[in-house]
């Protein structure tokens, strides 16, 4: 779906078919919606979720009857339905595990809004309430400037079918980076557009990290949305030949789908349900698997620099159209990092080896190293390309920029402020 995504996840099938389920298609003519909020059975087998399983969460009582989460139905909507005495429902924008998002008219302000109606499941309601508090903190800290983060207008409870459903009212945004990539059959963005998106992501992170001491913890393509709701426009893809040559599937090599560019590259970050303040408890596992930093996998603790790693993964994906690390297994993931970037520093491996759960490393007579993956996994790791081999020669500064974000040792990884000074962000590109 397009629009404001909340806590969605992707999973990839063995055949790497990246198309979404049919029911995730937009039900509107324009690119207005509240994005990445559809989880199909196919998706459930393709991308690992960001955090621990829901079965680990204690069940608590709350507002309205509590059923097993799989038994709870979505909020039933009809065009013209009134909510909170000021919103008129216009259309459905998307369904997801968490609930349902509708487009509505704000009768008081004469504007359209996106209303996220949370399913009556205690876990989802608690997460949504926490996200609302974080979005209020973000808005308070903005002080007249743009944070680069989605704006929450208000929250309320909606009475329906004997239940009280928690609702978040947000601004309406356009499609996500993932939606655009999918629409283009996973051909990457223009380098100009990647440059603009990367710069804005880092500025949004600078605001979160410095002004709020807040780590997003779940940056990925679905959680970066274009501000404009206008449909993207037809354009040529300048790296078509390079992209075609890199494809292994005949169907991809014969791609004739129209390529489109966004009308504007202005973006906003969304999905703050698992964002974490510096002094809060830090969960041991954060991020969707493919955007997860090495220190998280090695259980070494993490801070706001883990967001920078995720941005590095995003930049590569926006260039190639493919995930940088296509894996579901931790040791394989770490081995891919070494293959793509560099060998892990000894100090980092030693720290990991001294932890009770240091199962991914071992000490040889002279040095620490990652354990060897199994044969099938080792073959997959061997196919992982080095970063500089993923880009054309004229875009080598993009590879250098990405490498600066994907530094394995988080203590050497730049802050968002430092990353904003990289030459790539100031270079002029014709494409």
Q: Which residues are annotated as catalytic?
A: 218
Q: At what angle do helices 375-382 and 330-340 cross, to 10 degrees?
A: 30
List, as one string, the DSSP characters of 298-350. Answer: TT----THHHHHHHHHHHHHHHHSS-SS--S-HHHHHHHHHHHT-PPPHHHHH
Residues 251, 245: Cα–Cα separation, whole Å:
13
The C-alpha atoms of residue 212 and residue 142 are separated, in whole angstroms, by 10
The pair of structure tokens assigned to 62 is 């709350």
Distances (CA, A) of 419 to 206, 283, 405: 10, 25, 7
Q: Which tokens is 149 given?
A: 């983060």
The answer to whether the beta carbons of residues 404 and 430 sit under 8 Å apart is: no
Determine if residue 116 is labeled as part of a ligand binding site.
Answer: yes
Determine the distance from the C-alpha atom of residue 54 to the mean position of all C-alpha atoms in its chain, rounded to a whole number. Answer: 19
Q: What is the rounded distance in angstroms from the CA atom of residue 285 to the CA atom of residue 294?
A: 11
- Residues annotated within a binding site: 116
- Residues annotated within a binding site for ATP: 116
């Amino acid at each position: 779906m397009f629009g404001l995504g909340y806590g969605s996840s992707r999973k990839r099938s063995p055949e790497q078919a990246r198309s979404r389920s049919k029911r995730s298609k937009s039900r509107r003519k324009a690119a207005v919606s509240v994005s990445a909020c559809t989880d199909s059975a196919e998706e459930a087998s393709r991308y690992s979720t960001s955090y621990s399983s829901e079965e680990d969460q204690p069940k608590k009582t709350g507002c309205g009857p509590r059923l097993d989460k799989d038994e709870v139905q979505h909020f039933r909507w009809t065009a013209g339905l009134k909510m909170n005495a000021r919103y008129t429902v216009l259309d459905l924008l998307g369904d997801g595990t968490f609930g349902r998002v509708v487009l509505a008219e704000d009768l008081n302000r004469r504007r359209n809004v996106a209303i996220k109606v949370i399913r009556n499941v205690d876990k989802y309601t608690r997460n949504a309430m926490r996200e609302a508090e974080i979005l209020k903190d973000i808005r308070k800290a903005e002080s007249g400037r743009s944070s680069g983060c989605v704006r929450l207008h208000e929250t309320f409870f909606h009475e329906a079918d004997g239940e009280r459903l928690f609702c978040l009212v947000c601004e309406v945004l356009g499609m996500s980076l993932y939606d655009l990539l999918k629409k283009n059959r996973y051909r990457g963005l223009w380098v100009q557009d990647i440059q603009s998106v990367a710069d804005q992501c880092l500025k949004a992170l600078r605001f979160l990290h410095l002004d709020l001491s807040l780590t997003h913890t779940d940056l990925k393509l679905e959680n970066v949305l274009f501000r404009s709701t206008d449909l993207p426009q037809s354009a040529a893809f300048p790296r078509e030949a390079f992209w075609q040559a890199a494809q292994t599937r005949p169907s991809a090599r014969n791609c004739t789908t129209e390529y489109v560019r966004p009308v504007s590259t202005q973006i906003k970050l969304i999905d703050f349900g698992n964002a974490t303040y510096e002094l809060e408890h830090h969960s041991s596992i954060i991020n969707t698997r493919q955007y997860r930093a090495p220190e998280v996998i090695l259980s070494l603790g993490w801070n706001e620099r883990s967001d920078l790693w995720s941005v590095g993964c995003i930049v590569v994906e926006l260039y190639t159209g493919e995930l940088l690390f296509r894996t579901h297994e931790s040791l394989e993931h770490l081995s891919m990092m070494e293959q793509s970037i560099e060998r892990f520093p000894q100090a980092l491996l030693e720290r990991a080896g001294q932890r009770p759960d240091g199962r991914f490393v071992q000490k040889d007579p002279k040095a620490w190293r990652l354990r060897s993956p199994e044969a099938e996994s080792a073959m997959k790791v061997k196919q992982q390309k080095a970063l500089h081999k993923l880009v054309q020669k004229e875009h080598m500064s993009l590879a250098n920029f990405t490498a600066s974000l994907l530094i394995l040792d988080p203590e050497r990884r730049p802050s968002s402020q430092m990353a904003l000074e990289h030459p790539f962000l100031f270079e002029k590109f014709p494409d």
